[in-house]
Amino acid sequence: MSKIEWTDGTSNPIHLIKNDGSHGGHWCRKTSTGCAGCYSEAQNQSDFFKFASHLSYTGNPPENLILDESILKSWLKLKKSQKIFVCSMTDLFGEWVPDAWILKIFTYMRRCPNITFQILTKRPGRMLDFISRLCWRTSKDGDSLQGFIAYLGLSDRKPLQNVWLGTSIENQSALTKRARHLQEIHQRGWTTFYSVEPLLEEVNLYLRSCPVSWVIVGGESGKDARPCQPDWIQSVIEQCQQVQTPVYVKQFGSNKQSRPNCLKGKGGDFDKFPKSFQLREFPVVR
């Protein structure tokens, strides 16, 4: 089980490896103001977690970063339908992640149609470039991932129905930079979503002209959490309802000045939400 309410579990096949071959923690590179209070970096620097690398999410990628195929193979053993958040501790579409690794991950996701894989990135431009070049080839041995557009003559470029592709939106500037890429992905038939978390200001998502399949919204968690006004969350809810987009209200955030008095911690106790905020919907896959 995951503490991230909108998924059932997390899986991190990209990680560091120690000299003795054991798990060495994680790494990512911060890219925008939404990364300032990164929960993944905090976990990765905490002595509570045995795998912690204690590396900051800045600078150049460590040389001991690997793609752990044993984790990918473990997906094949999952019988129960469930949602898995892939690469929750990093960004699958970070510029340091080789195309070959992403291809391998997509290959395994295609082989697990009973599992819903959720991928969230702050770099949707690269995600668009990647899925635009994806090609599948059907042979007597079944479908396999062949690579990129060079195989177009033998390709099937239909989206994977069990893969949801999302981008993070923390403010209006992030929406301006990222929405156009996700919109093009959406137009290609993929299930798409915004994670409007941490919500740092009121945001117009322009859902009527730039639709997505799903919206998650929430305030920032952590000891130095920035404020998220309930009115900002309410605005996102109303925007979603106006165009019948499923919305998932995750939390009000840890900032005490902006969350309702009845809530503690990160403000995610759903049963104590004001009634108008008690919405945890999921998309209907096309």
Pick 214 or 19 by higher pLDDT: 214
Instruction: Quote the pLDDT of residue 25.
Output: 87
Pairing of strands 9-11, 214-218: unpaired
Question: Partners of 13 in the beta sheet?
Answer: none
Instruction: Quote the pLDDT of residue 140.
Output: 46
Element (H, E) at 11: strand 9-11
Pick 192 or 136 by higher pLDDT: 192
pLDDT digits (tens, 9 = 90+) for 82-93: 999 999 999 999
pLDDT at 17 over 60: yes
CB 268 within 8 A of CB 5: yes
Pick 28 or 183 by higher pLDDT: 183
- Hey, how many other C-beta atoms are within 10 angstroms of the C-beta on 264? 12
What is the torsional sign of CA 202, 207, 211, 215?
positive
For residues 170 and 197, what is the distance between their CA atoms, to the nearest angstrom? 6
pLDDT at 260 over 60: yes
Per domain, the residue ranges of the chain are 67-277
Percent of the chain with pLDDT over 70: 90
Instruction: Quote the pLDDT of residue 177.
Output: 97
Instruction: Quote the pLDDT of residue 141.
Output: 47
pLDDT digits (tens, 9 = 90+) for 147-178: 544 443 334 567 999 999 999 999 999 999 99
- Hey, how many other C-beta atoms are within 10 angstroms of the C-beta on 109? 21
The number of residues making up the chain comes to 286
Q: Predicted confidence band at 45 (pLDDT cuts at 50, 70, 90)?
A: confident
For residues 196 and 228, what is the distance between their CA atoms, to the nearest angstrom? 11
* Helix, strand, or coil (residue 51): coil
What's the mean pLDDT when you consider all of the chain? Answer: 88
Instruction: Quote the pLDDT of residue 9.
Output: 97
For 67-277, CATH number? 3.80.30
